[in-house]
């Protein structure tokens, strides 16, 4: 490693994802020997007491309950936004105006109108901007992307993807913020991840037809049955710009599924299968194998695969969820050090939002709709 410099990090949000990003920023320099060394400067949560406790727990120098103070602080060079999506736009625009690089968790704001404004502001600023899509960064999925790009399974003809979990499968589970408002529903919460995977593996979506529903229409609450105001599951048929067909299924009521981020891809010379519940394995089928020996081969992640060796030297030992966030942190710091965007940028987050908005339009129209391409449509790295 050549030059080394520190960089002040401010994180907005101290919950599940805020903690994950704080841990990642603490570990990334040791794991990847990055040129930029994060300095945990300020964390912001909703109360002064809570922020102070998170600062102590995660190792931040200071704490605040006012994100405006964080984004304008002169010792903060980059802002990580891990707060609810209804705060994303305001924090992003303020941070960019203050000259800070921005990493924003998915989804990028409340739909494509907000993400377009965030993207345009980021592009005008010349600052680094990145959207948080961590699951596609597993060594196995990075390997899948390389196999497809190299043409090892021939011309891809079909893609099936799902993001299925069961945290809302029980109809007696009480009402909560998750069951109120479209942005907190299944299409706002889970769909962005598998749509991002489809774009990363297959390229742009040009048209789609969606069917979205609320399975459990009321939930128990202290005041009695409460109406659920968002969706539980949805399916999307799509056609990619490449000509390949696709199907996505997204559900938070998929009984038995805990982390069903999975895909299956058919090509003219082979096929791929992946399931995040077994995230260190990729299954590959090759038609070039001799008759009688053809079948899916399980490839265990190891040091020969992207980003694995930095965490572990033993094949099959595996990487985990937190490691994906550390890889994200490495990419964000590398983009800042290089002074140029690195996938996935706000353009990628905006593209995902366009597809989700198109899915809702399709649901309302009960038919196929086109997905508008964006200028300078990015390609996955």
Could you tell me if 69 and 188 lie in one domain? no
Assess whether pLDDT exceeds 70 at residue 3: no
Distance CA 371, CA 358 (A): 6
126: Cβ contacts below 8 Å, ≥ 6 apart:
none
pLDDT in tens, 158-205: 999 999 999 999 999 999 999 999 999 999 999 999 999 999 999 999
Alpha carbon 135 to its chain centroid, in Å, reads 6
Report the domain count for the chain. 2
What CATH number did the domain enclosing 157 receive? 3.30.360.10
Question: What average pLDDT is seen over the chain?
Answer: 96
Could you tell me if 168 and 293 lie in one domain? yes
Collapsing DSSP to helix, strand or coil, 160 comes out as strand
Find the helix or strand (DSSP H, E) in which 221 lies.
none
Q: Which residue has the tokens 């200028």?
A: 375
pLDDT in tens, 111-161: 999 999 999 999 999 999 999 999 999 999 999 999 999 999 999 999 999
CA-nearest of 346, 349, 351, 341 to 373 is 351
What CATH number did the domain enclosing 82 receive? 3.40.50.720
What's the domain range around 89? 5-135
In a domain, 377, yes or no: no
Distance CA 24, CA 202 (A): 29
pLDDT in tens, 10-31: 999 999 999 999 999 999 999 9
**Burial status of residue 51 (CB atoms within 10 A of its CB: 0-12, 13-18, 19 or more):** buried
CA-nearest of 153, 379, 100, 350 to 263 is 153
- Would you mind telling me the total number of residues written for the chain in this entry? 381
Please, are residues 358 and 371 in contact by the beta-carbon 8 Å criterion?
A: yes
* Both tokens assigned to 101: 């690089």
pLDDT at residue number 353 = 97
Q: What are the C-alpha distances in Å from 29 to residues 18, 144, 197, 289, 331?
A: 18, 26, 27, 42, 12
The reply to whether the predicted model has a pTM over 0.75 is: yes
pLDDT in tens, 33-85: 999 999 999 999 999 999 999 999 999 999 999 999 999 999 999 999 999 99
């Amino acid at each position: 490693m050549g030059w080394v410099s520190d960089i002040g990090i401010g994180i907005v949000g101290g919950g599940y994802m805020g903690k994950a990003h704080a841990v990642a920023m603490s570990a990334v320099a040791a794991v990847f020997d990055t040129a930029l060394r994060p300095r945990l400067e300020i964390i912001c949560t909703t109360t002064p007491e809570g922020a102070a406790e998170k600062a102590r727990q995660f190792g931040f120098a200071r704490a605040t309950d006012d994100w405006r103070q964080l984004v304008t602080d002169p010792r903060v060079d980059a802002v990580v936004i891990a707060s609810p999506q209804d705060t994303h736009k305001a924090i992003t625009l303020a941070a960019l105006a203050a000259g800070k690089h921005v990493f924003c968790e998915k989804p990028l704001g409340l739909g494509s109108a907000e993400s377009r404004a965030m993207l345009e502001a980021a592009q005008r600023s010349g600052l680094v901007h990145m959207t948080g899509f961590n699951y596609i960064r597993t060594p196995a999925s990075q390997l899948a992307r390389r196999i497809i790009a190299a043409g090892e399974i021939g011309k891809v003809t079909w893609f099936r993807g799902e993001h299925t979990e069961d945290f809302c499968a029980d109809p007696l589970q009480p009402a909560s913020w998750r069951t109120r408002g479209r942005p907190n529903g299944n299409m706002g919460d889970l769909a962005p991840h598998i749509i991002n995977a489809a774009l990363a593996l297959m390229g742009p979506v040009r048209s789609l037809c969606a069917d979205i529903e609320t399975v459990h229409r009321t939930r128990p609450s202290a005041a009695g049955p409460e109406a659920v105001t968002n969706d539980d599951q949805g399916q999307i048929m799509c056609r990619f710009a490449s000509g390949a067909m696709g199907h996505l299924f997204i559900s938070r009521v998929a009984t038995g599924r805990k982390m069903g981020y999975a895909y299956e891809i058919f090509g003219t010379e082979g096929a791929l299968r992946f399931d995040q519940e077994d995230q260190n394995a990729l299954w590959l089928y090759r038609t070039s194998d001799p008759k009688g020996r053809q079948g899916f081969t399980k490839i265990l992640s190891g040091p020969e695969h992207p980003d694995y060796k930095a965490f572990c030297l033993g094949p099959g030992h595996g990487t985990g969820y937190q490691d994906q966030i550390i890889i994200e942190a490495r990419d964000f710091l590398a983009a800042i050090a290089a002074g140029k965007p690195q996938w996935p940028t706000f353009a990628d987050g905006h593209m995902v939002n366009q597809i989700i908005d198109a899915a809702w339009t399709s649901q309302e129209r009960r038919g196929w709709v086109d997905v508008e391409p964006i200028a300078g449509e990015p390609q996955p790295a």
